[in-house]
Amino acid sequence: MAIRTRPIVLGHRGYRAKFPENTVRAFREAMAAGAQGIECDLQKTKDGRYVIIHDPTTGRVADGDREVARVNLSELRSLDFGGGERIPTLEELLTALPTGAWLDLELKEETIRAPDCRQIMDALTAFPRDRLMISSFNPELLVPFRGSGYLIGLLVGEETVSRGLRGFLQALRRVRPAYVNLPIDMIRRLGAGRAAVVARLLRLLGFSLLFWTVNGTEEAGFAFRHGDIIVTDEVETIVTAVRNAFTAN
């Protein structure tokens, strides 16, 4: 198998397969298992605090159901997110990551708005720019970061597809992301051949590629050939697959 370059492996919401997602423990366990960094999600509370959680509500991951935008941080802190873990703030996330770690921070449009971008940038000031990517499905949230010199990734998903090819190309032209963040599920939807054509075309246009969420070794083979960053729930499995592939080559 021809491999271009060794991809970076990021733990999806930390080490989600084995630990409570988007918690400090999951982040630390992902790094301990060999990930070079993490991918996680940012939402905003009623009192204007930025917290790490994927959903706009807590019911799926905590012992109580709250709408993040309608409660203060103190109320969210009262919930158990698994094994006694509490919801981390953006500041706590940054403190938990070791020196040299990569961070892919996804801005969730349920609670994050364009005016929030400056405050988020202020919180990120000390984090090395060359290991930080700001991602979103919403191009409007990426524009301020792109204008301030941040590395950005445009996420491709159902939201992107609903805008059609023309809308997607317009977003690429406007945002000019460093990365296009593609779902590995595109292999199933398009077939491996057509998915490879899409990946090669995007690379020819000058974009680097991130693939999410890559959990199996077969999926990983495709991501190795075409991607620069791999986001995974199964950190140990994918780290081992990368190691084996590059040792063999």
pLDDT tens-place values along the chain, 249 residues long = 344 578 999 999 999 999 999 999 999 999 999 999 999 999 999 999 999 999 999 999 999 999 999 999 999 999 999 999 999 999 999 999 999 999 999 999 999 999 999 999 999 999 999 999 999 999 999 999 999 999 999 999 866 655 667 778 888 998 999 999 999 999 998 999 999 999 999 999 999 999 999 999 889 999 999 999 999 999 999 999 999 988 765
User: Could you tell me which residues are beta bridge partners of residue 155?
Assistant: 181
Q: Is cis: bond before 213, omega within 30 of 0?
A: yes
C-beta of residue 53 within 8 angstroms of C-beta of residue 41: yes
Q: What is the CATH number of domain 8-56+90-248?
A: 3.20.20.190
- Measured in whole angstroms, the distance separating CA 85 from the mean position of its chain's CA atoms is 21
User: Could you tell me which residues are beta bridge partners of residue 107?
Assistant: 42
C-beta of residue 26 within 8 angstroms of C-beta of residue 19: yes
C-beta of residue 182 within 8 angstroms of C-beta of residue 199: yes
Domain ranges of the chain: 8-56+90-248
